[in-house]
Amino acid sequence: MKAYVFPGQGAQFIGMGKDLYENSELAKSLFEKANEILGFRITDIMFEGTAEELKETKVTQPAVFLHSVILAKTLEDFKPEMVAGHSLGEFSALVANGVLSFEDGLKLVSQRALAMQKACEIKPSTMAAVLNLEDKIVEDICASIDGVVVAANYNCPGQLVISGEYKAVELACEKMKEAGAKRALILPVGGGFHSPMMEPAREELAAAIEATTFSTPICPVYQNVTATAVSDANEIKKNLIIQLTAPVKWTQSVKQMIADGATLFTEVGPGKVLAGLIGKIDREAATANA
């Protein structure tokens, strides 16, 4: 079975999507439509901006989404049998499997980015990568800390990201190292995504998601929150709202997709991060980049 996976924030690079814009009339029209919807020329930043401009959350999230979705729409033999996306990538996956329209997906991603930016400004929060420590140990250390810190991204075995209040994350990092972590590094991110610190953003985004039409998907989506195949539009909507404050179960999702018959994982969008993670989750898994 063909599985298509879509990357999240962090996969962006200057020049992303430019070749699509120049070589496909469909891609060009979709990029121009995106400029109209967003109210600024995101293509100028994507193609020729600075790394600083591209790193702004309100730019990064729509940019990664646009690159992924427009690339999927220009692929000749795009017939997904299962899809998944990492964090923000779940929105790209939902456009690719027909749940959301291009326009609605982009509007939600833009609102999500702005809501997350606001939540980050309310209280300082951050994330940290923890390497070579078992999931259970990471979870137990987080639970022992006074303050908000949780496991946020289960990226692959031995690579977890924790998220929460700045001081709690710093303290957890110290304890992780004492417990034998190879590394516990604060990440250069805007805030504590996929943790209770995003509650203000979740409330804001929930209203926008509730007001958006979700259609029946053409194939199941393996959602971050459940790590299982979901085909019911209402259930997809509910899980998407929870996603902002819940962990990204990427390792669990990939394992479930393989158990359900995935034979080839094709990464659609900027970078090759997900293909790398999938290779670490299962060495036998076949991966490709669109």
| pLDDT for the residue 10 | 87
Average pLDDT over residues 116-140: 94
pLDDT band at 140 (very low <50, low <70, confident <90, very high): very high
The catalytic position among 87, 92, 163, 253 is: 87
d(CA 265, CA 4): 6
Question: Same structural domain for residues 285 and 201?
Answer: yes
Per-residue pLDDT tens over the stretch 263-278: 999 999 999 999 999 9
Same-domain status, 83 and 213:
yes
141 in the same domain as 244? no
Q: List pLDDT tens digits, range 242-263.
A: 999 999 999 999 999 999 999 9
Active site residue 194: yes
Range with lowest mean pLDDT among 56-60, 182-186, 280-284: 56-60
Judge if 230 and 133 occupy the same domain: no
Beta carbons of 89 and 243 less than 8 angstroms apart: no
Domain boundary at 138, 166, 187, which?
187
Provide the token pair at 195: 């943790």
User: Which is the catalytic residue, given 67, 68, 163, 194?
Assistant: 194
**At how many degrees (to 10) do helices 233-242 and 89-96 cross?**
170
Tell me: do 15 and 35 sit in the same domain: yes
Please tell me the predicted confidence (pLDDT) of residue 171.
97
Full domain range(s) for residue 179: 125-187
76 and 162 in a single domain? The answer is no
Q: What is the pTM of this model?
A: 0.96
CATH classification of the domain holding 171: 3.30.70.250
- Our count of domains for the chain comes to 2
Pair (101, 201) in one structural domain? yes
Q: Are residues 49 and 72 in the same domain?
A: yes
Q: What percent of the chain has pLDDT over 70?
A: 100
* Statement to judge: residues 15 and 99 lie in one domain: yes
Say yes or no: 77 and 129 in one domain. Answer: no
Pairing of strands 149-156, 82-85: unpaired
pLDDT, mean of residues 116-138? 94
87 and 213 inside one domain: yes
Q: Indicate the average pLDDT of the chain.
A: 96
Known active-site residue 195: no
End position of a domain, from candidates 163, 187, 211: 187
